[in-house]
A and B are shown apart, each in its own frame.
Chain A
Amino acid sequence: KQEVTQIPAALSVPEGENLVLNCSFTDSAIYNLQWFRQDPGKGLTSLLLIQSSQREQTSGRLNASLDKSSGRSTLYIAASQPGDSATYLCAVRSWETSGSRLTFGEGTQLTVNP
């Protein structure tokens, strides 16, 4: 059974700092890995999607890497802003259930202080 872990559970940084969020998964037989952002009381917004054959994806100040063999992904946020404050969720789409299910981590709650 696929299990996804995110570290740290919470992170508070001053504005302008570069930061890294970590995600690990137990079964490397994955289709892809997706990073989401969730604001309080809202749904999930997709940030980056990395296919199993890719090593990284970039969008603006965000960069996500994937090391499938070691079961790890990182989300790098450059020059953080207060508007980046949210919960960041890592989700893996895996072979376990015929590629039909995302397994989510518990999330990292990020606070960027002005």
Chain B
Amino acid sequence: GAGVSQSPSNKVTEKGKDVELRCDPISGHTALYWYRQRLGQGLEFLIYFQGNSAPDKSGLPSDRFSAERTGESVSTLTIQRTQQEDSAVYLCASSSQGGNYGYTFGSGTRLTVV
């Protein structure tokens, strides 16, 4: 596609429910990243996928968070047993392989846990 697409754009869920967020990267981009941005705060790295290599999960805040990506396509970020502190905008970005390339971000999913 022309850009990074994220869905849903907004999600309201009850505390304790599981949610799944989706990211469609730019076609041909081998690298995919998830970030979290709480209200009024900076971006927090969550997880990074590069091709078929093992993902860098070092930013995931707890074992309630997991993410998957099949090959170089769609990625899903799953949050189990959501808590109010999970409320944030979840941003996905993709990039071509190699350090010379920049990142392209999606519009984000705004998650509200009530």
Contact = CB atoms under 8 A, between A and B. Distances in A.
A102 interface: yes
A53 to B, nearest CB: 9
B102 A46 contact: yes
B108 A97 contact: no
A103 B48 CA distance: 13
Contact of A36 (B98, B99, B105, B107): B105
B43 interface: yes
A61 interface: no
Contacts of B106: 43
Contacts, number: 57
Q: How many B residues touch the partner, as a band?
A: 20 to 34
A100 B93 CA distance: 12
Do most interface residues of chain B lie in helix, strand or loop, or is the interface mixed? Answer: strand
Contacts of B48: 97, 100-101
A42 B42 contact: no
Contacts of B42: 89, 104-107
Do most interface residues of chain A lie in helix, strand or loop, or is the interface mixed? Answer: strand
B75 interface: no
A97 B53 CA distance: 14
Interface string A84-109: 00000101010001011111111100
B110 A43 contact: no
A105 B44 CA distance: 10
B56 A43 contact: no
A76 interface: no
B34 to A, nearest CB: 11
